[in-house]
């Protein structure tokens, strides 16, 4: 099945739920949503958010943690981070809802950085989801 067909089918399933959800949370899914999903979901006033292991405008897409770690080693980058953001058609480019910086430690192994980032992600996804739900009027 083509990605656009999959996304259209997924949107149809979500829109058929009763009651309809207020929010769709993408966390670790690693699927780029197409307009075939986003357009009908957005038209139904369902918010879509995503957890991404980088700060806004930095390291969009897959492999963000490794690319930040490499930038720390090769370019002297001192920090990376985590964000929860609105999902738009452009990958990891929607408005940030909440962010947190994560220090890049000199000599730290990639696995250790990944563990520290995942710890931050676990709290940030809850905080980002709560913030969005707080803005939704019932």
Which residues are marked as active site? 52
Query: ∠48-15-40 over CA atoms, to 5°?
Result: 60
- Could you tell me if 80 and 99 are in contact, meaning their C-beta atoms sit under 8 angstroms apart? no
Which uninterrupted H or E stretch holds 135? helix 110-135
Q: Starting from the edge strand earliest in sequence, which strands make up the sheet with 79-86, in order?
A: 23-26, 47-52, 79-86, 96-103
């Amino acid at each position: 099945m083509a990605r656009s067909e999959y996304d259209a089918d997924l949107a149809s399933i979500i829109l058929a739920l009763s009651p309809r959800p207020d929010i769709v949370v993408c966390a670790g899914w690693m699927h780029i949503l197409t307009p075939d999903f986003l357009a009908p979901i957005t038209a139904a006033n369902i918010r879509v958010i995503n957890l991404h292991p980088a700060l806004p405008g930095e390291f969009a897409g897959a492999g963000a943690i490794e690319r930040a770690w490499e930038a720390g080693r090769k370019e002297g980058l001192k920090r990376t981070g985590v964000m929860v953001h609105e999902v738009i058609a452009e990958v990891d480019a929607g408005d940030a809802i909440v962010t947190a910086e994560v220090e890049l430690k000199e000599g730290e192994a990639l696995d250790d950085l990944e563990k520290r980032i995942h710890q931050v992600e676990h709290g940030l996804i809850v905080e980002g989801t709560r913030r969005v739900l707080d803005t939704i009027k019932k």
